[in-house]
Amino acid sequence: MAQQNIYDNNDFFNNFMDIREDNLNFNDIIETPIILSMMPDLKGKRILDLGCGMGQHAKQYVRMGASYVLGIDISEKMLSFARENNSAENIEYRRLPFERIEEINKKFDVVTSSLAFDYVEDFYMLIKRIHNLLNEGGTLVFSMSHPLSTAYDGTYDRYTRLENGERIYANLRNYNKEGIRKIKWVVDDYELYHRKISTLINSMVKSGFNIEECQESKVPEDISKKYPERFGGVMHQPDFIFFRCKKQSSKRFREV
C-alpha cells in the first residue's frame, strides 16, 4: 500500500491552516456536526482516531467521556499542532501511516476517521485491519470524500455554470473508473483515490461489519442561503459520505 504525506508540504499545510481558521470552512460547518452525531456513547470507551490531523476530534472525544484516545497521523506538522493545542492526559499521539496500523498493540471500542481515507490505496485491506483492532461489538465511524466528488479528474469544471457563475448542476465523469486521481488543489498533482459507493459497502461487509447508518453531507439551509457562493455546489452533489458500522460477532461472521 502506498503512503502519502501531503500535509508536511509547507505550502499545502499553510493553506490548509488558513482554510481551517475561516469560520465558514466545510469541516466545521458540514463534516464535524454529522460525524459527531453518528458516534455511539463514548463514556469509558477506548478510541482510535485514524488520520487525527490537528487533534480537534480527539479532544472532543475526551469531552464526550472517552477514557483513552490514540490519534495517529503520518504528518509531523499535524501531530505537532495536535500535541500543542489538543493534548490531554488520556490522549496519545503517534506518527504512523494507515498502512502499518497492524503494529498497534492495543484493542479499541471505537475506531474513527475524519476525511482521511481518501489517501488510502487499498481500502479493503485498511478496513480488515481496523476490524482486527476492534473489540467484539466495536464500532467504526468514519467520513470521507463522497464518490461523486472523488470521481472528478480535473479535466473539466466540476459544474456547469450560467454566465454569472452560478452553478446549475454538477458534472459527473469517469465514475466507474476507480483508482488514483491527480488534480491541482493548492499543489500540482494532489493525489487521492476514487472508489464507487458499492466498493465501499462491499469492503465493509466482506471485512465483517454490519452497516448501521450512512449519511451524505448537507449544509444547513440558512447558511446555504446566506453564502450561496461558498456552499452552492453542495445542493448539486454531496462532498462527504459517512458510515457507522458494527463489528459482527466472530461466532456469526464467516468471511466471503
Domain spans, the chain = 6-145+197-226+239-247
C-alpha cell of 134? 476492534
Compare 78 and 4 and report the one with higher pLDDT. Answer: 78
Whether pTM exceeds 0.85: yes
- Distance from chain centroid for Cα 41: 20
- The rounded distance, in Å, linking the Cα atoms of 35 and 54 is 16
**Residues 120, 122, 125, 131: is their CA dihedral positive or negative?**
positive
Indicate the range of 13-22, 53-62, 161-170, 200-209 predicted with least confidence: 13-22
167 exposed, middle or buried (CB, 10 Å; 0-12, 13-18, 19+)? buried
- How many CA atoms are closer than 13 Å to the CA of 20, on its beta-carbon side? 14
Instruction: Provide the pLDDT for residue 26.
Output: 66
Instruction: Provide the pLDDT for residue 229.
Output: 64
Cell 481515507, residue located: 117
Q: Of 59, 64, 112, 117, which is closest to residue 89 (Cα–Cα)?
A: 59
- Check whether 8 has a pLDDT greater than 50: yes
The set of residues, in sequence order, having a beta carbon less than 8 Å from that of 100 and lying 6+ positions away, is: none
C-alpha cell of 128? 480488515
List, for residues 50-90, the tens digit of each pLDDT value. 999 999 999 999 999 999 999 999 999 989 999 999 999 99
The set of residues, in sequence order, having a beta carbon less than 8 Å from that of 144 and lying 6+ positions away, is: 113, 115, 116, 117, 118, 240, 241
Superfamily classification of domain 6-145+197-226+239-247: Vaccinia Virus protein VP39 (3.40.50.150)
List, for residues 197-249, the tens digit of each pLDDT value. 999 999 999 999 999 999 999 877 777 666 666 666 677 789 999 999 999 86
Judged by DSSP in three states, 109 sits in strand
Please, which pLDDT band fits residue 142 given cuts at 50, 70 and 90? very high
C-alpha cell of 111? 475506531
Average per-residue pLDDT for the chain? 87
- The rounded distance, in Å, linking the Cα atoms of 138 and 20 is 31
